[in-house]
Amino acid sequence: MTKPVKIAPSILSADFARLGEEVRAIDAAGADYIHIDVMDGHFVPNITIGPGVVKALRPHTAKVFDVHLMIAPVDNFIQAFADAGADIISFHPEAGAHPHRTVQLIRSLGKKPGIVLNPHTPLSMVDYLLADLDLVLVMSVNPGFGGQSFISSQLDKIAELRRRINAVSDAQGGRQIDLEVDGGVNIETAKQCIAVGADVLVAGTATFVGGPSAYETNMRALRGQNG
């Protein structure tokens, strides 16, 4: 039987005035990962949170902190987010001169490295890197803001990545490499992403709509487990 897709609620859509409570609520409601979007106002046109907030949230849950760095230059901040409690650290290849070196840095700190592909970023950016990664994140919106509409052209990218990841995973004895999608994920687009091979869905608005009493139902719906 196919394992249910993992849900990684993006705390970008949470109530920032009660962020610790929100993290505890999505943990209790069945979140698999806690997705933390870090934006610097330079690499992307928005500013969110830094390692201090990640460190403050760490005691609120034992779930995986899936930290997406939208900052440049990225290498300067890897250590700080690792120390703050990140488990997965993903970055954009455009955000540093030597992506393979960044992957090595993340791994050297005992964390799982991931690469993020913007809508325009070609799959060739993961050539010679995929075997060293634990996650590939496909952005199905342009990074920088929550609440955007899903870019359907990314479905072909997800499908091709699924084929490549399966080949690498098979060659490495079945090692898990997450294929994650972030941007405009709702009940309908979640179905499309799952159908082409995504196994982790980042969902902000679709998770947090309706408040804490709705979080479990929202995540079940995204997994296709209604009823």
Which residues are annotated binding-site positions for a divalent metal cation?
Answer: 35, 37, 68, 182
Catalytic positions, written as ranges: 37, 182
Q: What is the CA radius of gyration of the chain?
A: 16
Binding residue numbers: 10, 35, 37, 68, 144-147, 182-184, 204-205
Distances (CA, A) of 187 to 69, 86, 110: 26, 28, 34
Binding residue numbers for substrate: 10, 68, 144-147, 182-184, 204-205
Structure tokens at 28: 């209790």
Is the separation of the CB atoms in 219 and 186 below 8 Å? no
Is the separation of the CB atoms in 8 and 107 below 8 Å? no
CA 173/CA 12 separation, integer angstroms: 36
